[in-house]
Amino acid sequence: MPQPLPLTGIKVVDYSHFLAGPFMSRCLAALGAEVIKVERPQTGDAGRQSPTISGGVSGYFLQQNMGKRGLCLDLRQPAARDLMARLTAKADVFVENYRPGALAKLGLGYADLARVNPGLVYCSVSAFGHSGPLSDRPGFGLIAEAMSGAMSIIGSPGEAPPLFRMPLADMYAGIHGVAAIVAALYGRRDSGRGQHIDLALYDCMVSMHDYALQGYLMSGGTELPQQTGQDLPSSTIYGVFSARDGHLVIAAQVDDSWLRLARLIGGEALAADSRFHGAANRNTNREAALTKVRGWCAAQPDRAACLAALQAAGVPAAPVQTVDEVVADPQLAARGMFIEQSHPTLGRVRMPNLPFHFSDYSMPDSAVAPGLGEHNSDIAVELGFSDAEIAAMQDSGALYSA
């Protein structure tokens, strides 16, 4: 019989919006935590207005907020602040991604909540963190991606860097938040105390560099990574190549893989060519090696033929898949990376799943993301409010539902 999910019994208040915070709490919910999504009246999380919109419902919001319950409060009203105080007093985790200092003005800063609930693990996500000369600046993932140096090394030489088209800073910060929260909860077992986790999108992007920063530092500032387009000059052959009907990647930068590739595209003569023996020689003669590989790819009937030949030769390669190809990929189907949910107005909706796989946990399908204020009454009852008090809060707008 499977074990209970690892975060079963953990209560999370998600007072975040858009992406880093909601993704983080979605992960916590999938791992068994009870997550209550707290939103403001009328508009709620700004992610509710993000595309794709179908039947007035945001797919963006559905993806990042499944598995949660919804509470909508007007924190300008004393009754709503009382409800929030009761909620956070019983919580294990509080997640927020507002500008540093903003929630302290509402009495929801870490110091405020920890006075009442010293075991609370409070996770803040912001553009630049709660310290340093830029800490008071607002920012989005794009800002962190640009400042981190990551954008400066992508794209073709001499051209403006492209957008990543995937929210690297937000998602990386979100999953770091999951790790930090779980670590803090583990540490609380012995100390009994929670703590404030201060995550910056900028920090997370800088930490993602695998070679650029250490290369610059280790070389005494002489090795400054540049845009290289479709390949890496320090790793020949490692990059993107074009077939007649699409693109593929080939990773033959190590000697064994290069020799297999060389025999495939040029026979023993190419495999024996000393210009390409060893990584240093291949890098020195990079353009000649690239010309050989590009010519071979272009001469094949199509991309599928390229990939079949590379696979048969034992050369690591893969198609550059378009989104429709990803959705139809049988590998992802086998891994359960798309889930279907039943939405009250849209019917069946299909969403990307999280990549968690455990040997002894049964990962249930997550509930569909909540409507604005959908669980107001249920949560208020659990916190000890009477029916009359709940009705009064609903009438005053302290509790709001769409």
Give the model's pLDDT for residue 2.
Answer: 85
Torsion of CA 59, 61, 64, 66, to 10 degrees: -90
Question: Which residue in the block uniquely carries the two structure tokens 């992007």?
Answer: 205
In whole angstroms, give the CA distance from residue 10 to residue 12.
7
Give the model's pLDDT for residue 88.
Answer: 98
In whole angstroms, give the CA distance from residue 44 to residue 180.
27
- Of 167, 201, 176, the C-alpha closest to 60 is 167
- Of 147, 145, 135, the C-alpha closest to 98 is 135
SS3 state of residue 352: strand
Sorted by where each starts, the structural domains of the chain and their CATH numbers stand as 11-207+331-396 (3.40.50.10540), 231-321 (3.30.1540.10)
Give the model confidence (pLDDT) of 258-315 as tens digits.
Answer: 999 999 999 999 999 999 999 999 999 999 999 999 999 999 999 999 999 999 999 9
Give the model's pLDDT for residue 377.
Answer: 97
Locate 157 and state its tokens: 């030489």
Q: Which of 14, 45, 170, 231 is catalytic?
A: 170
In whole angstroms, give the CA distance from residue 119 to residue 40.
26
Please confirm, yes or no, whether 82 is among the known catalytic residues.
no
Residues 6 or more apart whose Cβ sits within 8 Å of residue 351 = 59, 62, 63, 66, 338, 339, 340, 341
Percent of the chain surpassing pLDDT 90: 98
Give the model confidence (pLDDT) of 348-391 as tens digits.
Answer: 999 999 999 999 998 888 999 999 999 999 999 999 999 999 99
pTM of the model: 0.95
Contact 401, 374 (CB under 8 A): yes
Between β-strands 11-15 and 93-96, what pairing exists: parallel, antiparallel or unpaired?
parallel
Give the model's pLDDT for residue 323.
Answer: 97
SS3 state of residue 38: strand
Residues 6 or more apart whose Cβ sits within 8 Å of residue 158 = 227
- Positions in the chain whose pLDDT score sits under 70: none
Nearest 5°: the CA angle 88, 93, 98 is 80
Locate 22 and state its tokens: 């909601």
